[in-house]
Structure 1
Amino acid sequence: MKRGKLAQSTGCNLETIRYYEKIALMHEPDRTESGHRVHSLDDQRRLKFILRSRELGFSIEQLRGLLNLVDSDDYTCGEVLDVTTQRIADIKSKISDLKKLERTLSDMSSRCAGGEVPDCPVINSLFDEQSLK
């Protein structure tokens, strides 16, 4: 199938497919005698794998590592688990950071009456570095 059909079948933007080819997450597609790029069902499966992995928040480097394992045909479930466990740790860290951010913003906004005066506790807090720690 041509790139446009691949994009349509996966819901992926053409430019994104080009980018994944450029950074070698996608293999260089075969070409017809007239030079048109053609993708196989394996290419479609690989792109779906990439898209799903990105939805789950795997970085390009983590994804590259997973694909290198898959491409080697010599990987263990334990190796995949290591990458996944690291992703879970990253997520937990981000959740913790977001909770701190929520507490800080909630505290700042709780001091604001929302009135018509220009003196705003939220703005004052944003200028005060200590309130963001």
Structure 2
Amino acid sequence: MTKSLTIGAFAKAVGVRPDTIRYYERNALLADPGRTEAGYRIYDENDLERVRFIRKAQRLGFTLKEIAVLLSLRSSDTARAADVLAITTRKIADLKTQIADLMRIEAALTALADDCPVDAPVADCPILAHLATASNTSDR
């Protein structure tokens, strides 16, 4: 027997706010729920499992668009594991690019911080001077 939960209890069970549940519904990540005679949304164990899947995928860095595709593949009778692997491989490449960008930013900020004369007036701060300089790049 599947237990029915109101949106508040459902949101609490999966660790999100009710507006997050409504957002997932608006974006077709979660099907429109059944309703009580009074019009209250009701959710079941399948919905709990689906939102847990969504949340775990988000923690791994997948976007909601990617998660929608993963959910679609998961429910497909014809999809192959290779389809999921392709999405995951693209995600890994995206993450490697983001990591490289963050490392570049860290190096630039570290260099600026190392050049900062702590006792100088703020007008002589190289960090502020760098930020005020027109440039096409965000690094030094």
TM-score, normalised via structure 2 length: 0.87
Distance change (3 Å), C-alpha of 1:105 and 1:9 = same
Alignment-derived partner of residue 119 in structure 2? 115
Alignment-derived partner of residue 50 in structure 2? 46
Number of residue pairs aligned between Structure 1 and Structure 2? 133
1:72 is displaced (CA, Å) by: 2.3
**Corresponding residue to 2:72 among 68, 91, 115:** 68
Equivalent-residue separation in structure 1 for 2:19 and 2:137 (angstroms): 42
Alignment-derived partner of residue 138 in structure 2? 132
SS at match of 1:72: coil
Residue deviations 1:64-101 (CA, integer Å, cap 9, x gap): 11111123233211111111111111111100000000
Q: Is the 8 A contact 1:3 1:14 kept in 2?
A: yes
Specify which structure has the higher proportion of helix. 1
1:37 is displaced (CA, Å) by: 1.4
Q: Which residues of structure 1 form unaligned runs of 5+?
A: none
1:119 is displaced (CA, Å) by: 1.1
Equivalent-residue separation in structure 1 for 2:48 and 2:33 (angstroms): 11
| Amino acid paired to 1:12 | V
1:130 is displaced (CA, Å) by: 6.9
Q: Is the 8 A contact 1:30 1:37 kept in 2?
A: yes
Distance change (3 Å), C-alpha of 1:130 and 1:41 = closer
* Coordinate RMSD, CA, aligned: 1.5
1:32 is displaced (CA, Å) by: 2.2
Distance change (3 Å), C-alpha of 1:33 and 1:92 = same
| Amino acid paired to 2:32 | E
Alignment-derived partner of residue 12 in structure 2? 8
1:33 is displaced (CA, Å) by: 2.8
Residue deviations 1:4-29 (CA, integer Å, cap 9, x gap): 11111111111100100011100111
Equivalent-residue separation in structure 1 for 2:81 and 2:137 (angstroms): 45
1:121 is displaced (CA, Å) by: 1.1
TM-score, normalised via structure 1 length: 0.92
Higher relative contact order (CA 8 A, sep 6+): 2
Q: Which residues of structure 2 form unaligned runs of 5+?
A: none
Distance change (3 Å), C-alpha of 1:73 and 1:3 = farther
Higher deviation after alignment, 25-34 or 99-108: 25-34
Aligned identity (percent) is 35
